[in-house]
Amino acid sequence: MNLKIPGLLLSLPLSLMSVQAKSQTRPSGEKPNVIIILTDDQGYGDVGFNGCTDIPTPNIDRIAESGVRFTNGYVSYAVCGPSRAGIMTGRYQGRFGFGRNPLVAPRDTLQGLPSSEETMATVLGREGYTSLALGKWHLGAHKSQWPLNRGFDEFFGFLNGGHQYLPELWTLEDISEVRAQFDAYNTRLMKDNGRVEEKEYLTDALSREAVDFIERRVNEPFFIYLAYNAPHTPLQATEKYLSRFDHIKDKKRKTYAAMVSAVDDGVGQVLDKLEELGINENTIVFFLSDNGGPEHHNASDNGSLRDGKGSLYEGGIHVPFAVQWPGHIPAGQVYEKPVISLDMFATAVAYAKATPKNKLDGVNIVPFITGEETGMPHEQLYWRKYDQKAFAIRSGDHKLVKYKSEVEEVYNLADDISEAQSLALSEENHYPELKAAYEQWESELKDPIFLGLMQNKEYTQQNPDRFKLVNPYQPDVLEAKVPEGYELLWSDEFNGEGKPNDEFWADETGFVRNHELQWYQADNANISKGVLTIEGRREEVVNPHYKKRSKNWRKNRVKADYTSACIKTKDKFAFQYGIMEVRARIDTSMGLWPAIWTLGVENQWPANGEVDQMEYYRFEGEAKLLANAAWADAQMQAVWDGVKIPFSQFTEKEQDWADKFHIWKMDWTEDYIRLYLDDRLLNEIDLTRTLNADGTNPFHQPQYILLNMAIGSNGGDPSNTTFPRHYEVDYVRVYQNPSL
Ligand code: CA
């Protein structure tokens, strides 16, 4: 990952920056950038290129004018979530059971894209693309479903199906404060996996982030999924945009127009940036809406199409759709054969020369647009709404649909795009073949794998703890979640007020190890508000063991300049094999060295065996998180099996990583020790290799637990750090599997 160069560029004056960027532009013919600009609930008739008269969309129209507009462009579902699942996978989402709008269910791994599916970001990522997801995600709220865990390198937006647009309405810190489905509209925005401070109107913020990413990533192929939630309800716009529409008297339509206009400005900023950086001809830009406009809700207009969002008549699934790729797609074209949103994935991977694992339903549409291919991109397009027992299929101009009516209907869309006059279900009207093709396709689909928005109540009844989410910034007040097959052997939740329980913990005192600067003392370990806090202080302690000429560093120091605490379960609690889980918030300031570790009960160090679940310190000048085990060689020196992970890896994805609690876990069996941070495996230690020089295995004996924060030594120089500093431990839990 090349972060240094873009960082430098950003600090240069704008004029110089573009010159530099241009000179570094990749040669044409290389993998093109891909940008999908997706609007939400925008009507077919609400873009200039489809004849809209009251809302100018000059920038969206630029895409159609520089490339092609599709007069028969479809999405694969009539509401948000499933339509997006289709876009993001290039596959009919019914193939993997994404047949409903997902709920905000942050504890449910099944509410969202199943792990069998690869996103466009994952597939393009294998070919060296960096990727950004912006705006509305709606493909799962469980952390395993967040954009950064589904192939994206960056994310700026929100997880659920809609959001407030005005920063003053973002009253909840994050998803952990959500207590009902629609609360999620009110959370602060996320940047990557953390929350972010944002002051701009949401649509403007998304546009700004898109432009910023293009500037930073200009020298590598990129993929941007710019998923505006505008003009989805709630209808909210700023005066800047509202003032453009004094000619619209209907208040709803006026606000809707303002929201579309804000998107249009953003599209203009993105297109301008591509031109300015000279990458216009190396970037494919798609524009479309995720489903038809819900005309009564947001005052959208689907033109002459029947119905709107949710419907399998044209108004629900037939959307404004255009693409530009200057130099590759001739400008100003109109393409009339049916295409579908799934084609974006197939088109992108064709030019990225990427190979998706799953079979795509879309096709590369560029050869069809250029005339290189003369047939139909799709013999048939299909739709199913499982809960409504509704379906549709289009083949050529004919469409078979069963939606509101009890009966099936056939239309010839070439004569009757408004689906006003249903035709006879006859052979002449292709009814039998349409029906057979649909049934064949439907037989390949899965039933929905999760309850959706329509089953919100039912889902909450089945999952009463649906929103019981641990607040990452707060102590965990929920009961321990015992891993399956295990029992809780021992724990300290650090509840109550006062000193650590002396039945569990002993204090270290004085100078102890590694030439560290701090004097350990019991006074610096205290329990309050559900956490153990180890406090590092800048305070002097006279060394009672001082001996001027001693060779022992513990004695030849007159005083300590810092104090801290180390508590340990030595002679009080030890365990052999099991899972140890510690939730903690570490202080990453300069000079500090917090740790979670264990030592074997028998033998001298290092032959007793040391396991460092967490150490944070500076190595070769850089902050690192470590996950180690150590044992002894013939000279009683430590042999390490360790990893040192640059701390920046964590803060890159989560700027406020250090403000949160995290879970460190050791999974220890006779055969291995696996060390995890927030379920990410950091190190696996093979215990067949951890033999001391004398042949004993230190990890086949019980270990006791230590929690401490050292100051100085590996922690670095603390002299410019303000004190006191705090390392907080929420709990220590040890589980064992009784059958092992
Ligand atoms: Ca939508």
pLDDT single digits (tens) 77-106: 999 999 999 999 999 999 999 999 999 999
Burial of 483 (0-12, 13-18, 19+ CB in 10 A): middle
Per-residue model confidence as pLDDT tens digits over 285-305 = 999 999 999 999 999 999 999
Going from the Cα of 303 to the center of ligand 1, the distance in angstroms, rounded, reads 17
Burial 698-708, CB ≥16 within 10 A → b, else e: bbeeebbbbbb
Q: Which of 379, 407, 425 lies at the terminal end of a domain, its last residue?
A: 379
Q: Is the pLDDT higher at 255 or at 143?
A: 255
Going from the Cα of 311 to the center of ligand 1, the distance in angstroms, rounded, reads 12
Banded model confidence at residue 477, pLDDT cuts 50, 70, 90: confident
Instruction: State both tokens at 675.
Output: 């060390």
Asked if the model's pLDDT at residue 13 lies above 80, the reply is no
Per-residue model confidence as pLDDT tens digits over 384-426 = 999 999 999 999 999 999 998 889 999 999 999 999 999 999 9
Going from the Cα of 68 to the center of ligand 1, the distance in angstroms, rounded, reads 23
Neighbours of 164 (CB within 10 A): 17
Asked if the model's pLDDT at residue 559 lies above 50, the reply is yes
- CATH code: domain of residue 558: 2.60.120.200
Going from the Cα of 105 to the center of ligand 1, the distance in angstroms, rounded, reads 19
Domain identity same for 366 and 506: no
CB neighbours of 457 closer than 8 A, spacing ≥ 6?
A: none
pLDDT given at position 376: 97
Q: Note down the domain range covering 700.
A: 490-736
**Mean pLDDT (whole number) for 11-40:** 62
The full DSSP string for 550-572 is: -SSTTTS-SEEEEEE-EEE-TTT
Per-residue model confidence as pLDDT tens digits over 310-368 = 999 999 999 999 999 999 999 999 999 999 999 999 999 999 999 999 999 999 999 99
- Could you give the residue ranges of the DSSP H alpha helices within 646-729? 648-653
pLDDT given at position 26: 56
pLDDT given at position 29: 57
Going from the Cα of 284 to the center of ligand 1, the distance in angstroms, rounded, reads 23
Between CA 74 and CA 380 the distance in angstroms is 12
Banded model confidence at residue 436, pLDDT cuts 50, 70, 90: very high
Per-residue model confidence as pLDDT tens digits over 704-717 = 999 999 999 999 99
Q: Is the pLDDT higher at 28 or at 221?
A: 221
Instruction: State both tokens at 239.
Output: 């005066």
The distance of Cα 389 from the centroid of its chain, to the nearest Å, equals 33
Going from the Cα of 79 to the center of ligand 1, the distance in angstroms, rounded, reads 5
Asked if the model's pLDDT at residue 499 lies above 80, the reply is yes
Instruction: Give the percent of the chain with pLDDT over 70.
Output: 96
Between CA 513 and CA 568 the distance in angstroms is 14
Going from the Cα of 310 to the center of ligand 1, the distance in angstroms, rounded, reads 9
**Mean pLDDT (whole number) for 196-208:** 97
Query: Which amino acid, 730?
Result: D
Domain identity same for 179 and 321: yes
**Mean pLDDT (whole number) for 138-152:** 94
Write out the catalytic residue numbers. Answer: 80, 138
- CATH code: domain of residue 309: 3.40.720.10
pLDDT given at position 4: 34
Per-residue model confidence as pLDDT tens digits over 643-671 = 999 999 999 888 889 999 999 999 999 99
Query: Which amino acid, 427?
Result: E
Structural domain includes residue 200:
yes
Asked if the model's pLDDT at residue 18 lies above 70, the reply is no
Structural domain includes residue 131:
yes
Between CA 316 and CA 310 the distance in angstroms is 5
Per-residue model confidence as pLDDT tens digits over 353-378 = 999 999 999 999 999 999 999 999 99
Domain identity same for 214 and 360: yes
Q: Which of 379, 408, 427 lies at the terminal end of a domain, its last residue?
A: 379
Structural domain includes residue 234:
yes
Asked if the model's pLDDT at residue 599 lies above 60, the reply is yes
Between CA 449 and CA 426 the distance in angstroms is 36
pLDDT given at position 14: 38
Decide if 98 contacts 363 (C-beta within 8 A): no
Query: Which amino acid, 606?
Result: P
Going from the Cα of 232 to the center of ligand 1, the distance in angstroms, rounded, reads 7
Residues in the chain: 740
Per-residue model confidence as pLDDT tens digits over 102-125 = 999 998 889 999 999 999 999 999
Domain identity same for 515 and 372: no
What integer best gives the mean pLDDT of the chain?
A: 94
H/E element, 714? none
pLDDT given at position 497: 92
Domain identity same for 351 and 497: no
pLDDT given at position 481: 81
Q: % helix / strand / coil in the chain, to the nearest 5? A: 25, 30, 50
pLDDT given at position 24: 45
pLDDT given at position 30: 85
Structural domain includes residue 320:
yes
Structural domain includes residue 47:
yes
pLDDT given at position 27: 55
Q: Which of 379, 403, 426 lies at the terminal end of a domain, its last residue?
A: 379
Asked if the model's pLDDT at residue 69 lies above 60, the reply is yes
**Mean pLDDT (whole number) for 133-160:** 95
> Angle 202-216/251-276 helices, nearest 10 degrees?
10
Strand arrangement of the beta sheet that strand 703-711 belongs to: 506-507, 566-568, 703-711, 592-600, 610-619, 622-632, 638-646
E-strand ranges in 290-386 read 321-324, 333-335, 339-340, 380-385
The distance of Cα 320 from the centroid of its chain, to the nearest Å, equals 28
Query: Which amino acid, 139?
Result: L
Instruction: State both tokens at 474.
Output: 């707060």
**Mean pLDDT (whole number) for 179-192:** 93
Asked if the model's pLDDT at residue 6 lies above 60, the reply is no
pLDDT given at position 9: 35
Cis before 234 (ω within 30): yes
Between CA 36 and CA 228 the distance in angstroms is 10
Query: Which amino acid, 532?
Result: L
Structural domain includes residue 442:
no
Per-residue model confidence as pLDDT tens digits over 616-639 = 999 988 999 999 999 999 999 999
Going from the Cα of 218 to the center of ligand 1, the distance in angstroms, rounded, reads 30
- Residues facing 394 on adjacent strands: 381, 399
Domain identity same for 495 and 374: no
Going from the Cα of 228 to the center of ligand 1, the distance in angstroms, rounded, reads 10
pLDDT given at position 23: 39
**Mean pLDDT (whole number) for 228-240:** 98
Structural domain includes residue 391:
no
Total domains present in the chain: 2
Structural domain includes residue 109:
yes
Integer distance in angstroms from the first to the last C-alpha of the chain?
42
